[in-house]
Amino acid sequence: MTDAYEAYRQKARSWLQSIESEFGREARRGLTEEQDLALGRRYQSAKYAAGYAGINWPEDFGGQGLSHIEKVIFESEEMKFGVPSVYFGISLGMPVPILMRYGPDKEFARERVIKALKGEEIWCQLFSEPSGGTDLAGLRLKAEQDGNGWRLNGQKVWTSWAHYSDYGVIVARTDPTVEKHKGLTYFWVDMKAPGVTVRGIKLAGGDSHVNEVFFDNVRVEDNQRMSPVGGGFAVAITTLMIERYIATDSGGFGPHLDLFVDLAKEVEINGRPAIEDGRIRSAIARNYAMRAGLDSITARAMLMMQAGMEPGPEGSLNKLVAVRSRQKLSELAIDLQGNSGMAFEPHAFVKEDWSASWLNAPTGRIAGGSDETLLNTIAERILGLPQDHRPDKGVPFNQIPA
Ligand SMILES: Cc1cc2nc3c(=O)[nH]c(=O)nc-3n(C[C@H](O)[C@H](O)[C@H](O)COP(=O)(O)OP(=O)(O)OC[C@H]3O[C@@H](n4cnc5c(N)ncnc54)[C@H](O)[C@@H]3O)c2cc1C
């Protein structure tokens, strides 16, 4: 890391320390989700005022015009403070950068982007459907031409933060008679428009940040279209790739390994401190080695970025390995705690509570690319293995057996 980047890290850390008592983990303890969101909006506004929102975005869209490296440095510091940024992660991660790039009305886009950066507006991403999420090109929600606009009919599912969202980006099928990925078109939608119904899904961990979203004859204007008609698949893939530069957490966004070591010192196995047990020591060593390996991959990606190169597909290892390991370690921690390990604390933070971490880990193994999808990426792009057989290749969508 060069001196300039190190200085940026120090400056970011000092700012985060200065706002910690107002927005950090302790300030959030015991808040309801609505109160936490309100705090999050104030945090996002403070971040904007301090020049830490849109770090690598163009200045005329309210950004700072810096590089991906400063952005990743800030995020890796920010995640240590437990600030309420989760509500804006998807919004600022994918839909809003896409609006900035493909929004047909630049002035409208600019206004939305700045409001989103300040936490005043939230966007969601409406891709996955009940018929499937991995196979994005297989989606069924229809957009039919209606005068100089369109009518949307169908359902999306697993839409994060749809219940707080003002707008969303959506991919719809405009032509079922062509190959599946050729008949899709990309729009932005007003989540408060007549005919949009959002229904929460309760997750095992107790929260309901994901939703089903129903579209019943929802009108969108043609100037809400963000791709050529039939060209939506390419914009959808760009959406999924646009946030390639994100801070990673080799702990899989679960508790720090130090917390496990502390626990192993506190509890006993057969009348001896658990930390003296060979199986526990081996689990700690394995987890440490795994985290060190992933941190090295991240450090290498940072060095590549500094040298002006693109980090490679090895980034897909991070989530796959880290979240699986977090799940295993959380399970072991719950076992060590005995009956009290099963106590459920609805306001617990995943980063410091083993049962919250364990209950939430499965969603981490699905969202943002399931384990199997990541294994496919590793097989094809890192190991160079052949692609899966695709029996639907070249077949019009409406002739693929359901
Ligand atoms: C917490 C959470 C938040 C989410 N937020 C959003 C959001 O904001 N917006 C949004 O659009 N979606 C969101 N999703 C949906 C997510 O993108 C999908 O769940 C994911 O893409 C998998 O799709 P699916 O659940 O339909 O499973 P499917 O695609 O039906 O897959 C079922 C199983 O088959 C496996 N599988 C599928 N295809 C292959 C293949 N080719 N090779 C090997 N195995 C395969 C999968 O890995 C999985 O185990 C979210 C999901 C979660 C859990």
- Assess contact for 188 and 171: CB atoms under 8 A: no
**Ligand 1 centroid to residue 286 C-alpha, Å:** 29
pLDDT digits (tens, 9 = 90+) for 360-398: 999 999 998 899 999 998 999 889 999 888 889 899 999
**Ligand 1 centroid to residue 109 C-alpha, Å:** 29
pLDDT value at position 350?
A: 93
Q: What is the bridge-based pairing of β-strands 123-126 and 167-173?
A: parallel
**Ligand 1 centroid to residue 367 C-alpha, Å:** 6
Structure tokens at 348: 């617990």
pLDDT value at position 175?
A: 98
Which residues touch 4 (CB under 8 Å, ≥6 apart)? none
- Assess contact for 342 and 353: CB atoms under 8 A: no
**Distance spanning both ends of the chain, measured CA to CA:** 52
Beta strands in 274-365 (DSSP E): none
pLDDT digits (tens, 9 = 90+) for 135-148: 999 999 999 999 99
pLDDT value at position 361?
A: 95
- Assess contact for 326 and 367: CB atoms under 8 A: no
Phi, psi of 211 (to 5 degrees): -145, 160
Structure tokens at 307: 């040298």
If you search the block for the tokens 């810096």, which residue do you land on?
Answer: 66
pLDDT value at position 374?
A: 92
CATH of domain 248-382: 1.20.140.10
If you search the block for the tokens 């994901």, which residue do you land on?
Answer: 210
- The per-residue pLDDT string of the chain (402 residues; one tens digit each, 9 = 90 and over) reads 688 999 999 999 999 999 999 999 999 999 999 999 999 999 999 999 999 999 999 999 999 999 999 999 999 999 999 999 999 999 999 999 999 999 999 999 999 999 999 999 999 999 999 988 899 999 999 999 999 999 999 999 999 999 999 999 999 999 999 999 999 999 999 999 999 999 999 998 888 999 999 999 999 999 999 999 999 999 999 998 887 778 889 999 999 999 999 999 999 999 999 999 999 999 999 999 999 999 999 889 888 888 888 887 877 888 999 999 999 999 999 999 998 888 888 788 999 999 999 999 999 999 988 999 999 989 998 899 998 888 898 999 999 987
CATH 1.20.140.10 domain locations along the chain = 248-382
Q: Which amino acid is present at 378?
A: I
CATH 1.10.540.10 domain locations along the chain = 3-85
CATH of domain 124-231: 2.40.110.10
Dihedral Cα 60, 95, 226, 243, nearest 10 deg: 80
Q: Is the CB of 370 under 6 A from ligand 1?
A: yes
pLDDT value at position 1?
A: 66
**3-class secondary-structure state, position 127:** coil
**3-class secondary-structure state, position 128:** coil
**Does domain 3-85 sit in CATH 1.10.540.10?**
yes
pLDDT digits (tens, 9 = 90+) for 95-142: 999 999 999 999 999 999 999 999 999 999 999 999 888 999 999 999
User: Among 319, 350, 366, which residue has the most ligand 1 atoms within 8 Å of its CB, making it the best to mutate?
Assistant: 366
CATH 2.40.110.10 domain locations along the chain = 124-231
User: Among 134, 156, 215, 390, which residue has the most ligand 1 atoms within 8 Å of its CB, making it the best to mutate?
Assistant: 134
Pick from 215, 198, 109, 214: nearest CA to 160: 198
Pick from 293, 249, 275: nearest CA to 332: 275
86 HSE (CA, 13 A, CB side): 20
If you search the block for the tokens 């060590």, which residue do you land on?
Answer: 336
DSSP 270: T
